[in-house]
Structure 1
Amino acid sequence: MNQPEDVEVVLAHDRHYKFHANVLARNSTLFAGILTEPYAVKLSNKAKNAGITTRWMIELTTLPSSENPAGKLELVELNNMGEPLDGHVGMVLNENGRVPTKVFEYYESIFYAFYNNEININDDDMRGALEDAGEMITIAEYLGCVPLISKPIDVALAKHGQTMYQAIATIPVGWMRLGLQIKSELIFKEALIHLVGNWNRIKNDPEMMSRVRDLPFNVRKLVEEHHEMLVHKSKRLEQALVTAYPGGMLEPSKWHPIKRDEYARDVLVWMALSFYRHWLAQRIVLEQGSTAEDGGFKLYSQIGQAGEAYMDKSVINQFHTRAPMTKKAMNVLENHVLEIKECMKGHVEHHGVLKSLCQLDVYRHPVEYLTCVEVLRQDIPWLHDEETIVQATGSKRGKRPGGNEIVQRNLEAAKRFAEASEITFDAGEEDDEEDEGGWSKRARYE
């Protein structure tokens, strides 16, 4: 048997919705405090006989603003026929040529999500999708239902695939904040990789750093720790490059002690290695390695390609002007340089600095920084917190939470979001004072 729809939500004069009080209260901490018997109208027998079931009416009376980012919902006083005492039917919005507001669509998507409907996210462009997600999260924080819509928003955004990953690479700080809000491992990890890889450039940008400082302290610390690990990884590669002796240069003979004429036969190999280290040392001294804005990406990419990607004939000729030799010797030396390049290419591959660990297809959509940042599950802030709670409570391995525990967790999570956003509701109070950013009552029932 269908349950009576006993709540009417009025977003505008042409946007009226009928919902169930138990569904709204179960999914929203704000509604849980409002949709209680003290605020419900007692319908007359005439109303009941007429099929009227509305016992609460909630109206959106204020559009989003700097003071009320999600707008403001108010309880409407009803008569015993379930009709507004003041005859009000919702705001009439005159946009007068301005960009139409989408706040109604956002509220509608969230309300329908209470009934397991799919969240609607902009499919035209990623910037619009991010805007939609951000606005809906703001409203969800106001309603106290972020945990409920987090996963649907995460799934809706993930459908954009490479378009989303490109957007994350462009504005990683904004996406990291969103990832934290909706607890999306995918978004958070992707944003972290791009933020760490591009950190040398970001930390020299005052505007970007001001956004980074708005992130929670533990997240900023996480970024800095992973950047230090990335720099350490790059320096280990540089050390390997400057200390490598390709082939059998160090031991041209199996018989010890090795005579000098044995080494003399490889003089051109030693000259080639000297030229190579000369070039590499210049690059590092000029801060094109791990201390460069791109974290050494360009330098390591050249070394990883080998061949004519760097130290081409024009560069080799500069060495020949300082150490002149015959044409034949020059050709032999150049061949040795190519062999050394192939050896150094192997070191780059071994250290994995050019390996991409992000979801972005860097071959189709290249970025100019390293994306070899490894993010583990214990690096995800909320997963780390949950693991800490499990260890503290001594939960047994293999035991899964039951229904009551899941509901309790969701309720506590919603309350934490409400407290973080300074959302309050005074359903149990006996006065009519309004709490800024929280629930305000247009009327009370006697």
Structure 2
Amino acid sequence: MVSYPESVDHAAAPPSSASRLSVSHSSRRPHHRHGHSHHGGASYQPLNDFPIFSQTGDVEIVIAASNGQERRYLLHRLILAQCSGFFEASTSDALAPLGPARDDAPTESSPSLPSYPEDGSSSVLSGRASLQNGAPPRKRWRFELDWENRDGDEAPILVQRPPEYGKDFVQSVVHSTKPPAPPRSSFLRTMANMAGMQSAVHLPSTARGKEIPDAELDPLIRDYDNLFRIFYNYPPILNSVNVAVAYSECKSLLNLANMYDALPVVGPRIDHHLLRFSSRLFKQIAKYPPSYLKLGYLARSRVIFAEALIHVVGQWPAGLQQLRNSPLPDSVLDLIEDKVEDLEELKARVDAKLFRLTLTTSRGERVNPSNAYLDWLAVSLFRHWFVENSTPPPASILKNSSSRDPSREAPPPSSAASSGRVYRLIGSSSPDAYLSHDELKRFLKQRATASSDALYTRENLKRFERKMDEIKRLAREIVKPLLRNFLELDLKETDGVVGLPYLTCTKVEERDFPWD
């Protein structure tokens, strides 16, 4: 989050205390945040608070949605430029637009609202005093959404327009029947000195008249309002109940922040909001890892990005097409491919050890059909089971019938998912996870029938089970590196003991984050 130094000019530190005080009751109710009633019952809104800093603001922003909804802001160039590369570039010209002469521009008969000079002094001059002293008009910028010059469904972007001055802009957003009387200059000087000790970080919230309900607010206006709220260190208004709705709102806000080069400021707020969902967020990431990988990258969220990356690598190449259609940089795809390659190398080393796994006789010799036939059968059965369950079946040699509907055929399971389940079965401490007692008994009976010998006996079955248990124990140690879980998600909450069908042993180091 951008910090706001206390040494900035007064445009960045509006007199929030003054905005809370009414002219007639300033000494009695200094902490009241809403407009007071004046001599005829009329109420007014504070005139120097977010989103309208009428005394210190110098950037007018009008957000008009396609459905007719509109929201206006009068903010500070300094804060906008600190938070957004777009506003920094758009307002960097030393000669800011002053706008054409207007009928409602400040004149001796129509003074402008008080404003702070750009030189950082704490004195406040009214528009009349400024003109009498020959001071130039206050610099001001104005931005509006450009709905005309855009391609197709492309989102509109803010463009500069000639600025407005004085009462028109402010009164267009202040819902009052009677504006307050201009404060005395001595009172304003006091408030300005107080404001000089204030930071924009502590700006109070403000009532904005009759608001549109959140459910009816246009998403475009909601996103811009959240963007500016974050700039002024207010929490964004995002869904805190439904994680799916919160994801949609956060994604839209991040895309907007990306348009205006404000991700370093907005990203931490998104990260903080989503992580409050805790386990619900991690379960949602497991369902849609490519989508959350993109969101985690935009938000610069280490937790969300790493969580999604582990899922993407484990399922690879399931999410390849979706990631290729995303605005992610090549560095993210390169990172994924590197992690997939590391995982495949680890699996290859584990597979080699499993295929070489064997038992020895009491004399230290490897078992074979001649020196320990029953033990050799146990080793052979384990290797056969592992091959059958870790490699995809061979392609069918039968031609597809022309009458077969391909849309009804289920896609084959990915090798990543099938091998993941096999390793988890091997790593299970349950004796019946694979090659259970019944399977071993059936195997021995079939061998005895085929060879017409007395292989199947109670003693042979017990010895066969003991040897298979020894093989399982050795195999369990071999697959341990593949069964490490670096997810925040508790795998026992997803699918019992077995967990996810793919491996989650990918470790994301600090050096792996592509934005560092």
Question: Normalising to structure 1: TM-score of the pair?
Answer: 0.69
Give the equivalent residue in structure 2 for 1:312.
Answer: 436
CA contact 1:296–1:369 (8 Å) conserved in 2: yes
Distance 1:115 1:172, change over 3 A: same
**Residue 421 of structure 2 corresponds to residue 298 of structure 1:** yes
**Partner amino acid for 1:176?**
L
Distance 1:156 1:66, change over 3 A: farther
- Distance in 2, matches of 1:115 and 1:382, equals 25
- The runs of 5 or more residues in structure 1 that have no matched partner are 90-94, 384-446
225-234 vs 269-278, which moves further: 269-278
Give the equivalent residue in structure 1 for 2:75.
Answer: 19
Give the equivalent residue in structure 2 for 1:409.
Answer: none
Give the equivalent residue in structure 2 for 1:275.
Answer: 381
Partner of 1:38, secondary structure, is coil
**Partner amino acid for 1:245?**
T
**Partner amino acid for 2:486?**
L
**Partner amino acid for 1:106?**
D
CA contact 2:290–2:319 (8 Å) conserved in 1: no
**Residue 312 of structure 2 corresponds to residue 195 of structure 1:** yes
Of 475, 483, 491, 1:354 maps to 483
- Distance in 1, matches of 2:229 and 2:472, equals 61
CA contact 1:168–1:190 (8 Å) conserved in 2: yes
- Distance in 1, matches of 2:510 and 2:438, equals 48
Distance 1:100 1:20, change over 3 A: closer
Partner of 2:61, secondary structure, is strand
Q: Deviations 1:100-132 (Å, cap 9, x if unpaired)? A: 522212111111212212233322322222221
- Distance in 2, matches of 1:155 and 1:11, equals 26
- Distance in 1, matches of 2:90 and 2:294, equals 30
Partner of 1:120, secondary structure, is coil
**Partner amino acid for 1:294?**
A
Aligned counterparts, 1:80-159, within 5 A: 81-83=166-168, 101-159=218-276
Partner of 2:492, secondary structure, is coil
Q: Deviations 1:342-373 (Å, cap 9, x if unpaired)? A: 23222222xx2111111122111342210001
**Partner amino acid for 1:72?**
I
Give the equivalent residue in structure 2 for 1:44.
Answer: 107
- Distance in 2, matches of 1:294 and 1:242, equals 20
- The runs of 5 or more residues in structure 2 that have no matched partner are 1-13, 16-54, 100-104, 117-137, 175-211, 395-412, 449-454
Cα drift, residue 33 of structure 1 = 4.1
Distance 1:185 1:67, change over 3 A: farther
Q: Percent identity?
A: 25
CA contact 2:141–2:160 (8 Å) conserved in 1: yes
- Distance in 1, matches of 2:461 and 2:230, equals 73
Distance 1:104 1:267, change over 3 A: same
CA contact 1:175–1:187 (8 Å) conserved in 2: yes
Give the equivalent residue in structure 2 for 1:416.
Answer: none
Distance 1:210 1:139, change over 3 A: closer
Partner of 1:137, secondary structure, is helix
- Distance in 2, matches of 1:63 and 1:113, equals 28
- Distance in 1, matches of 2:414 and 2:246, equals 35
CA contact 1:61–1:72 (8 Å) conserved in 2: yes
Decide which structure has the larger Cα Rg and report it.
2
- Distance in 1, matches of 2:151 and 2:353, equals 55
- Distance in 2, matches of 1:48 and 1:192, equals 59
**Partner amino acid for 2:381?**
F
Of 461, 464, 476, 1:330 maps to 461
**Partner amino acid for 2:225?**
E
Partner of 1:17, secondary structure, is strand
Of 51, 59, 62, 1:7 maps to 59
CA contact 1:6–1:19 (8 Å) conserved in 2: yes
Query: Which structure's residues are more often helix, by fraction?
Result: 1
Give the equivalent residue in structure 2 for 1:438.
Answer: none
Q: Which has the higher contact order (CA 8 A, sep 6+)?
A: 1
Give the equivalent residue in structure 2 for 1:71.
Answer: 156
CA contact 2:97–2:163 (8 Å) conserved in 1: no
Partner of 2:79, secondary structure, is helix
Cα drift, residue 173 of structure 1 = 1.9
CA contact 1:190–1:358 (8 Å) conserved in 2: yes
Cα drift, residue 68 of structure 1 = 6.8
Cα drift, residue 79 of structure 1 = 5.8
Q: Deviations 1:306-329 (Å, cap 9, x if unpaired)? A: 511111234321343124332322
Give the RMSD, CA atoms, in angstroms.
3.7
Partner of 1:16, secondary structure, is strand
- Distance in 1, matches of 2:282 and 2:333, equals 21
- Distance in 1, matches of 2:108 and 2:328, equals 56
CA contact 1:126–1:163 (8 Å) conserved in 2: yes
Distance 1:294 1:112, change over 3 A: same
Partner of 2:479, secondary structure, is helix
Give the equivalent residue in structure 2 for 1:253.
Answer: 363
- Distance in 1, matches of 2:337 and 2:257, equals 31
CA contact 1:120–1:156 (8 Å) conserved in 2: no
Give the equivalent residue in structure 2 for 1:429.
Answer: none
Aligned counterparts, 1:190-229, within 5 A: 190-202=307-319, 208=322, 210-211=324-325, 215-229=328-342
Distance 1:319 1:50, change over 3 A: same
Partner of 1:121, secondary structure, is coil
Partner of 1:134, secondary structure, is helix
Of 499, 503, 507, 1:374 maps to 507
